[in-house]
């Protein structure tokens, strides 16, 4: 019998779209834009940790009641209308923050930083149980991601799997084993095939576990079992890392994603499965609060179209990220010429040009793209997303010791060179918003040019509060000579190119 939908059957995956409405497809394997994704699609990725309830609102067909002059109490017919875009927010504990750079523009590959070291824990074959099962392994080929499939042929009794979708036939590699081989023997056979790949430096075996050292620097997803699963376990010793840059987009284009949502039932025909296409980041809010302990991120998507997926559950679920969440206690970083708030183009931390409050309790960065959609009379849904005016807000709560920020807030503005700056303050306000776990291999740095002080609390505190805590909001002022406020964005990340670029 069917059972009530419970938490254990909930899954939510995503992947970048290579063109609007068409999910990433490295092998041009027949995925069509705006059409349900095959169950054996191999390239789904996981969100950052979602701790709370999520209520995605699905675009659906309008029902229009039609009333005729001869009708008395009720409509005479129901007409089918259009599919209107919908908006929903996903709140996450920050692990990779892939959607933050994609709210600014299209990330571009810059360089690869570090090679991955991963582990594959194999199991023994039991009377041919591993025959035609397979695992998926990504490697770095030059600068690109290469997707490999390793399948097991027991006593030459199997044939190469024709699925999953998105893996080239030339990348389906046979591993010959015998019935009832031990885990160590299976691991040795697989390691030999891994060693044959130019993109892998070594695959060493110990007690049935393979340690895979990648030859090339770069971020790759953790290996994982395929639809026909051998039941292996996987681990990460060292994350590979890749550096990306983002130039703030000044046109109306914006990166898009496909989301895959499942509520499972023991009777698969009762599963609730939807593909949500053309998801664009309307707004992203990153909250760094000492009391929260973990950096939080709220991403608001807008989507014009969704379909119920009757192909079935995703049979190649992605591995978990195994990336630690960003702690608020030491994640937000400052450096000379890169302060959270600074006047002018140069500054020294705690120097005269560093305008950051003496203590900072909370920081929130908001980027809003004011996305709208354009219709086309030949389509029932809107296939064109338009990124409008980009609003940038920086909210800071902290204790201040000087009047400088009150002056930035209070004074009128004057033209100085090409910038509008407060009349009695020394220079325009800049910011470098930098979240960092590792100074070389894992950080996000966003330079914000010319902030306006638009809100500033001014209060008298009672004895219980002990000191004056200011609540200030800054927003984007006039842009630089190129019209940009977000003038430099650099990301060193454990996330591979398929998400950041929508390509290999």
SS3 per-residue string spanning 412-470: CEEEECCEEEECCCCCCEEEEEEEEEECCCEEEEEEEEEEEEEEECCCCCCCCCCCCEE
Q: Are residues 217 and 314 in the same domain?
A: no
For residue 330, count other CB atoms closer than 10 A to its CB.
9
Whether 1 maps to a domain, the answer reads no
Flag whether pLDDT at 88 surpasses 90.
yes
Does 459 have pLDDT greater than 70? no
Distance (Å, rounded) from C-alpha 368 to C-alpha 393?
Answer: 9
Same domain, 441 and 497: yes
3-class DSSP state of 497: helix
Tokens coding 171: 């990348």
Torsion region of 322: left, alpha or beta (phi above 0 gives left; psi -120 to 50 gives alpha): left
Q: Are strands 22-23 and 272-289 parallel, antiparallel or unpaired?
A: unpaired
Distant-in-sequence, close-in-space partners of 110: CB < 8 Å, separation ≥ 6 = 242, 243, 244, 245, 490
Secondary structure class of 236 (helix, strand, coil): strand
Q: Is residue 135 part of a domain?
A: yes
- 27 found inside a domain: yes
The answer to whether residues 230 and 250 belong to one domain is no
Number of structural domains in the chain? 2
Q: Quick check: is 404 in a domain?
A: yes
Last-in-domain residue among 239, 254, 276: 239
What is the residue-wise DSSP string for 264-301? --SSGGG-EEEEEEEEEEEEEEEEEEGGGSB-EEEEEE
User: What local confidence, expressed as pLDDT, does residue 24 receive?
Assistant: 95
User: What residue has token string 């209308």?
Assistant: 81
Percent of the chain predicted with pLDDT > 90: 67
Span 113-125, average pLDDT: 97
> What residue has token string 């824990």?
121
DSSP assignment string, 3-15: ----GGGEEEEEE
Residue 374 shares a structural domain with residue 474 = yes
Residues 53 and 160 in one domain: no
Tell me how far apart the alpha carbons of residues 504 and 498 are, in angstroms, rounded to a whole number. 6
Pairing of strands 429-438, 372-374: unpaired
Provide mean pLDDT across the span 251-273.
91
Report the alpha-carbon distance of residue 335 to residue 337 in Å, rounded. Answer: 6
Determine which of 58-72, 103-117, 224-238, 281-295 has the lowest per-residue pLDDT on average.
58-72
In a shared domain, residues 130 and 210 = yes
Model pLDDT, residue 404: 79
What domain range is 269 assigned to? 8-63+87-111+246-504
- The answer as to whether 73 is a domain residue is no
493 and 364 fall within a common domain: yes
pLDDT, tens only, 466-487: 566 788 899 998 888 899 999 9
Average pLDDT value for residue range 411-422? 75
pLDDT higher than 90, residue 41: yes
pLDDT bin (cut points 50, 70, 90) of residue 5 is confident
Break the chain down into helix, strand, coil percent, rounded to 5.
10, 45, 45
Instruction: Write the Ramachandran bin of 444: left for phi over 0, alpha for psi from -120 to 50, otherwise beta.
Output: beta
β-pairing verdict for 296-303 and 86-93: antiparallel
Q: What is the pLDDT of residues 306-351, one digit of tens each?
A: 999 999 999 999 999 999 999 998 999 999 999 999 987 788 888 8
Residue 413: predicted pLDDT: 75
In a domain, 76, yes or no: no
Dihedral, 219, 221, 223, 227 alpha carbons, nearest 10: -150
Q: pLDDT band at residue 415, thresholds of 50, 70 and 90?
A: confident
200 plus 275 within the same structural domain: no
Token code pair at residue 265: 């039932």
Mean pLDDT for all residues in the chain: 91
Range of 29-33, 77-81, 97-101, 318-322 with top mean pLDDT: 97-101
Least-confidence region, from 107-116, 388-397, 401-410, 495-504: 401-410
Q: What are phi and psi of 301, to 5 degrees?
A: -100, 150
Same domain, 47 and 157: no
Instruction: Pull the structure tokens for residue 325.
Output: 């969440």
pLDDT, one tens digit per residue, over 273-305 is: 999 999 999 999 999 999 999 999 999 999 999
Is there a domain that residue 290 lies in? yes
Q: Say what the pLDDT of residue 215 is.
A: 97
Judge if 91 and 124 occupy the same domain.
no
Contacts of 465 (CB under 8 A, 6+ apart): none
Tokens of 485: 């406020």
Phi/psi at 225 (5° precision) = -70, 150
In the three-class reduction of DSSP (H, G, I as helix; E, B as strand; rest coil), residue 33 is classed as coil
Q: Tell which of 239, 274, 301 closes a domain.
A: 239
**Maximum Cα–Cα distance across the chain:** 83
Give the tokens for residue 79: 């007409």
- Domain containing residue 195: CATH number: 2.60.40
Residue 70 falls inside a structural domain: no
pLDDT at 28 over 80: no
Residue 504 has pLDDT above 60, yes or no: yes
Distance CA 277, CA 308 (A): 11
| 310 and 253 fall within a common domain | yes
Percent of the chain with pLDDT over 70: 97
pLDDT category at 396 given cuts 50, 70, 90 is: very high
Q: Which of 239, 266, 288 is the last residue of a domain?
A: 239
What's residue 163's pLDDT?
83
Q: Looking at the structure, tell me whether residues 120 and 107 fall in a common domain.
A: no
Confidence at residue 419, expressed as pLDDT on a 0 to 100 scale: 74
């Amino acid at each position: 019998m069917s059972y009530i939908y419970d938490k254990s059957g909930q899954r939510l995956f995503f992947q970048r779209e290579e063109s609007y409405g068409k999910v990433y497809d490295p092998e041009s394997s027949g995925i069509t834009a705006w059409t349900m994704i095959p169950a054996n699609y191999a390239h789904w990725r996981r969100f950052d940790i979602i701790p709370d309830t999520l209520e995605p609102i699905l675009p659906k067909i309008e029902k229009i009641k039609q009333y005729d002059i001869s009708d008395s109490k009720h409509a005479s017919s129901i007409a089918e209308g259009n599919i209107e875009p919908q908006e929903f927010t996903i709140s996450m504990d920050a692990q990779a923050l892939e959607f933050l750079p994609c709210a600014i523009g299209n990330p571009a590959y810059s360089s690869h930083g570090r090679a991955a070291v991963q582990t594959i824990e194999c199991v023994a074959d039991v009377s041919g149980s591993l025959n035609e099962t397979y695992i998926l392994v990504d490697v770095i080929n030059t600068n690109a991601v290469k997707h490999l499939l390793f399948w097991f042929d027991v006593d030459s009794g199997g044939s190469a799997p024709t699925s999953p979708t998105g893996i080239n036939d030339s990348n389906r590699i046979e591993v010959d084993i015998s019935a009832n081989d031990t885990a160590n023997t299976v691991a040795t056979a697989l390691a030999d095939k891994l060693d044959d790949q130019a993109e892998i430096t070594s695959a060493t075996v110990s007690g049935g576990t393979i340690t895979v050292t990648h030859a090339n620097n770069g971020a790759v997803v953790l290996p994982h079992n395929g639809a026909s699963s051998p039941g292996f376990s996987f681990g990460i010793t060292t994350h590979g890392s890749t550096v990306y840059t983002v130039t703030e987009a000044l046109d109306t284009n914006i990166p898009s994603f496909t989301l895959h949502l499942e509520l499972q039932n023991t009777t698969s025909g009762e599963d609730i499965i939807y593909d949500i296409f053309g998801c664009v980041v309307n707004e992203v809010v990153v909250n760094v609060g000492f009391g929260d302990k973990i950096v939080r991120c709220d991403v608001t998507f807008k989507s014009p179209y969704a379909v119920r997926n009757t192909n079935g559950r995703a049979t190649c679920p992605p591995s978990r990220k195994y990336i630690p969440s960003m702690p608020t206690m030491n994640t937000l970083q400052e450096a000379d010429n890169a302060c959270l708030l600074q006047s002018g183009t140069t500054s020294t931390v705690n120097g005269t040009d560093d305008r950051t409050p003496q203590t900072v309790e909370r920081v929130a960065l908001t980027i809003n793209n004011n996305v709208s959609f354009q219709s086309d009379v030949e389509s029932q849904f809107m296939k064109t997303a338009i990124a409008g005016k980009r609003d940038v807000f920086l909210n800071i709560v902290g204790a201040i010791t000087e009047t400088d920020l009150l002056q930035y807030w209070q004074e009128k503005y004057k033209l100085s060179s090409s910038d509008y700056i407060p009349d009695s303050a020394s220079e325009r306000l800049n910011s470098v918003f930098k979240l960092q776990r590792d100074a070389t291999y894992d950080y996000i740095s966003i330079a914000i040019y010319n902030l306006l002080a638009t809100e500033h609390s001014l209060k008298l505190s009672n004895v219980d509060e002990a000191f004056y805590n200011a609540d200030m909001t800054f927003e984007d002022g006039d842009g630089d000579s190129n019209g940009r406020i977000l003038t430099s964005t650099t990301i060193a990340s454990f996330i591979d190119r398929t998400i950041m670029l929508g390509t290999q």
